[in-house]
Structure 1
Amino acid sequence: MSRSSFLKGAIWLTIATFISKVLGSAFRIPLQNIAGDEVLGIFTAVYPVYMSVLIITVAGIPLAISKLISTARGEGRTDDIYFIYRTATILGLVFGVVSFALMFTFAETIAMQLGGPLVTYSVMVVSLALIFAPYMAVYRGFFQGFEDMMPTAISQVLEQLVRVLLILVAAVYLTAQAYSIDIVAGGVMIGSAVGVVLALIYLKIIFAKSKLLPKKRAAYNWSQFKRWSKRILIVSLPICFGALTMALLNVVDSLTVPRQLGAMGHTSEEITRLYGIYGRGQALVQVAVVFASALILPLIPAITKALTEQRQADASALMTKATTFTHLTSWPVAAGMTAVTIPMNVVLFGDALGSEVIFVLSISALFTSFTVLSTGMLQGANRERAAAVIVLIFSIVKVVLNLLLVTRLGVLGAAVSTLVTYIFITIVNLFVLYRTISYAWLKRSHVVFAGASLVMAGVLGLLHWFVVNEEWSRGVMALYLTGAIVLGAVIFVGLVLALKGIDRSLLQSLPVVSKFVAKERT
């Protein structure tokens, strides 16, 4: 495959990842509207635990398989391609069955740690997806090993689209039938399993048509399994551990916040409702962070390649560019969300409950984006262990902060602990990065982006103070919110252009805009 074809596939994979992550985050808003804060609270508590188990069983498999197959192809070892495939499928099936069995068997125990018996059905249902997810990951890795990114891209979007549609359909039906909260929450989780199954079926069909698996095959035996399973695990486990550390922060909330709310005397129903209010802010932050992380996704793997080829200057330039992109996107999003917190809460969720929680978490969106960025760059710079240790340490810090703050401030305390934790992770990550590779972590353009965002937030904040009436209907709030977003965008873009925060080199780095900039120069 040509280099241009490979890059095209990488771009499609980036777009698909962005779409799937947006779908996977934004659907929580209509879910809350349909089923209420209680169901959203159960979902918010269960899903990080499911994702952690999923990461343990899946995270490193596609990349490990793709690297091993790519190497075997380059060296003409066709038999090894078959051995890698067979070994990976066995590992995927074993990981899937074992992880499902553990999560399903201990569903009640897990549920009691996440808020009470209302969570049990959700844990049991979502565990079904674990049977198929590792096996599906094998096929994604196989195609990537042949530099074909399209099957992975399409399967990602298919999985998330089916999952989201079924979640919302189940929520509408079960709520209309007046089922209890635990039944509704358990029912919406079936979307995760069905989405994975349909994505697996699609990949199996494409795999059968591709005929990429060598026809002439050497005998496969126990010795080959031991050899290749060891090699797959050696490559995949560090990747898995690095990915898991980020999920730990959400798991900390799932395991500590409901327990602290229970210690304050809240009933199981009240805990799920309060945690659902907290989940409103988490949903919005995830959408904001998805945009920032997807924007720089193609740049992070390039850091590893540049360092491998001993091109330190190129690696530094890539890190500077990734940092600039994140400043450009995260500052206006975080600042804008804080300025329109109440209208946004009313329009998206139907009332102003928990607006102070959303306000604090909106600020944390800025530092969450930089945590995602800096953790990825540490992994790209071959500092996976350092990245993992940092997040593990601050996961413990977050546990302590939750224990101290939730009993005093309720779910607002959890939001404050999230903000403080991500601030410290960002600071430490950037310090370690700068000690690893010297790069421009602070430029004039970054200050321009931050300043323009703060001015925008100030103007929108004053407008809210003098204009907004919290008794407005949802429709009137929606009109105001639309106008505020347009005004905020005009202020931010106008200031950035006036202060020359974006130069031609930055525009040429953007996937679509670069074409127009290139034409302008000719």
Structure 2
Amino acid sequence: MSKENFIKGAAILGVAGLLVKILGAIYRIPLTNLIGTEGIGYYQPAYNIYNLLLVVSLSGFPTAIAKLVSEKRALKNFEGAYQVYKVSRWGLFLIGLISSLLVLIFAKNLVSLIGFPGAYYSMLALVPALFAVPLLSAYRGFFQGSQNMAPIALSQIIEQVFRVSVGLYLAYALVGRGLEEAAAGATFGASAGGVAALILIYLMFLFTKKSIKEEIKLSSHNRTEPVKNIVKSLLYIAIPITIGASIAPLMGIMDSYIVSNRLTAIGYTNVQIADMFGELSGTAQTLINFPQVFSTAVAMSLVPAITDAFTKKQNVKLNVTANAGVKMSLIIGLPCGIGLFMLAEPVIALLYSSLGPEKHASSGALLEILAIGVIFLTLVQAFTAILQSINKQFHPVKNLIAGLIVKVILSYILIGMPSINIKGAAISTTISYFVVALLNWYDINNTSIKIKLIQVSSRSLLSVAIMAAATGVSFRFFKSVLHSQNLATLGSITIAVIVYVICLFATGAITKADLELIPKGEKLARFVRK
């Protein structure tokens, strides 16, 4: 594959991924305004179980399929590549069939087990998605291994468009019947999206099937192997990736379980618990997802650059690139974290106007806590990318498990305190991100890479301090002049962005070399210089 084609494929997936993440993050805002925090409290627990069940088919297997297909195609063994796809498709079909049937039969038991019986209809609404998405992953893995990224990108966009449009429509149509039904309508969007994407990618596969058969016919290097060998190879690649990817959804399920049980223990009713959990997951947590759109992009761009330097044993370049990547992550994470901390309640009021002042205050308090966690989360993403790039992929998994243990212990203790209650979940999340970031940093510094945190963060911290002062002053000024909190919030956010960007260049936090690390960075550097 030529460099130009590789860049083109990466760009297609990058743009699609950005659109999908933005759509997913924005989706929660109108949904929460429509069904409220109680409705989100029925929606999110079912989604947490769904995400865990899909980890196998969404993380490990597509990567494993892509790797094996790519390897066999590189050897001109096109029949072997097609065999990998066929074995994987049947395996993922069985996974989808079993998981969807189990949820269909035991949905009530599952949601009762985690303490949210009101999420029953939402759990049922996800059954079609549990069947369709694993099959979808088989096609995506094959196309990725064949270096054809367009079908993957299109299926991702279609999946999210259907999820958002169908989910919002059904939530609106069913909200009159009750919040549990409306939440189920919203979750059914995932099923509609999965089925629509599967149909699309299957049709695209049919269009390419002729060329696949032609490749097989013309190659003299075709060779098949026993199915058990292919299964072993798939599992060898998929299992460690799946273990790592399962930590986040597992953390979500543990959150649901502990929140329900500990709040029940201190006297809250099921409706109150669903309402409070909805505030945590539907308002505060949703806003934390926005910065991840950009910090994830930085982490993804780090992998090939660091892998290249590591493979060539270029230690100086390796250290420079790793430190630059961490610095860019902090340049994103610091202002997002501090900005959300300072304007937590006003931002909640701006985006979720229908919730009312009382909910704005309580959700704002949760957002203040989680906003600090944004800084540690961006570091976790950067450090994880570095460790994976230097063949230390099990270190982040080990550290995530440690973070999960810390979160469970702290959540159990803090949520059970009446004066802290649901805020204990936010506090434990922030501390667990800090622990994982610290452990990852320690593991990196035990390699040939040395991350100099003070050096890479000092100028960004200075820029953020100036931005914070400008944010506080401008918010009070706009509020007194405009007599509107929402307008004051928008005005102070605008001032904060302008001041922060100016400070980044004025303090030298961003240099020409940093800009050249990102796509089209040379043009951006020339623009900044002008």
Question: Could you tell me the TM-score, scaled by structure 2's length?
Answer: 0.91
Aligned to 2:300: 297
| Residue pair 1:257, 1:411 contacting (<8 A) in 2 also | yes
The code of the aligned residue for 1:482 comes to L
Greater shift in the superposed pair: 449-458 or 407-416: 449-458
- Which structure 2 segments of 5+ residues have no match? none
Mark the CA change 1:520 to 1:51 in structure 2 (over 3 Å): closer, same or farther.
closer
Aligned twin of 2:213: 214
C-alpha displacement of 1:373: 2.3
User: CA 1:428/1:305 → structure 2, altered by over 3 Å: closer, same or farther?
Assistant: same
1:460 corresponds to which residue?
Answer: 471
Give the whole-Å Cα distance in 2 for the aligned partners of 1:398 and 1:86.
41
How has the CA–CA distance of structure 1 residues 190 and 504 changed in structure 2, closer, same or farther, with 3 Å as cutoff?
A: same
- Indicate if the aligned counterparts of 2:515 and 2:521 stay in contact, CA closer than 8 A: yes
Structure 1 residue 142: Cα displacement: 1.0
**SS at structure 2 position matched to 1:27:** helix
**59 and 86 in structure 1: CA distance in 2 versus 1, 3 angstrom threshold:** same
Supply the distance in 1 between the matched residues of 2:223 and 2:330 (Cα, whole angstroms).
52
Query: 5 Å matches for 1:27-426?
Result: 27-175=27-175, 178-211=176-209, 212-215=211-214, 216=216, 224-279=226-281, 280-350=283-353, 351=356, 352-354=360-362, 355-408=364-417, 409-426=420-437
Shift of 1:262: 1.7
Deviations 1:387-418 (A, max 9, x none): 11111122111111011111211111111111
Deviation, 1:301, is 4.2
Counterpart secondary structure, 1:418: helix
Q: Is the 8 A contact 1:103 1:123 kept in 2?
A: yes
Distance of 1:170 and 1:50 partners within structure 2: 19
Indicate the percent of aligned positions where both proteins have the same amino acid: 28
Distance 1:246 1:380, change over 3 A: farther
SS in structure 1 at match of 2:519: coil
Q: Distance in 2 between the 1:12 and 1:443 partners?
A: 36
| 8 Å contact from structure 2 (residues 99, 130) kept in 1 | yes
Q: Which residue of 1 aligns with 2:19?
A: 19
Q: Structure 1: how far apart are the matches of 2:301 and 2:520? A: 14
| Cα 1:521–1:268 shift into 2, 3 Å | closer
* Aligned mates of 2:257, 2:448 — CA distance in 1: 36
What is the alpha-carbon distance in structure 2 between the residues aligned to residue 467 and residue 483 of structure 1? Answer: 7
Please give the per-residue CA displacement for 1:407-466, whole angstroms capped at 9, x wherever unaligned: 211111111111111111111111111212313442645211122113322332345467
What is the one-letter code of the residue matched to 1:380? Answer: S
| Counterpart-to-counterpart distance in 1, 2:308 and 2:63 | 15
- What amino acid is the match of 1:179? R
Q: Deviations over 1:35-55 (max 9, x none)?
A: 111111222222222111111
Counterpart in the other structure of 1:451: 462
Preserved contact between residue 100 and residue 128 of structure 1 (Cα < 8 Å)? yes
* Structure 1 letter corresponding to 2:511: D
Does the 8 Å contact 1:115/1:258 carry over to 2? yes
Asked whether the equivalents of residues 118 and 182 of structure 1 are also in contact (C-alpha less than 8 Å), the reply is yes
Distance 1:468 1:321 in 2: 38
- Residues 103, 124 of structure 1: 8 Å contact kept: yes
* Secondary structure, aligned partner of 1:353: helix
Deviation of the 1:313 alpha carbon = 4.0
Give the AA of the match of 1:268: N
**3-state SS of 2:446 partner:** helix
Quote how far apart the aligned CAs of 1:114 are.
Answer: 3.1
Look up the equivalent residue of 1:169 and give its one-letter code.
Answer: Y
Q: Normalising by structure 1, report the TM-score.
A: 0.92
Distance 2:384 2:30 in 1: 31
* Mapped partners of 2:385, 2:421: distance in 1: 32
Contact residue 289 and residue 369 of structure 1 kept, 8 A: yes
Q: CA deviation at 1:510?
A: 2.4
Offset at 1:274?
0.8
With over 3 angstroms needed to count, the CA separation of the structure-2 counterparts of 1:347 and 1:403, relative to structure 1, is same
How many Å separate the matches in 2 of 1:382 and 1:247? Answer: 24
Q: Distance in 2 between matches of 1:262 and 1:301?
A: 48
Does the 8 A contact of 1:44 with 1:276 survive in 2?
Answer: yes
Aligned letter for 2:267? G
CA separation in 2, counterparts of 1:420 and 1:129? Answer: 33
Verify the 8 A CA contact 2:478 2:488 in the aligned structure 1: no
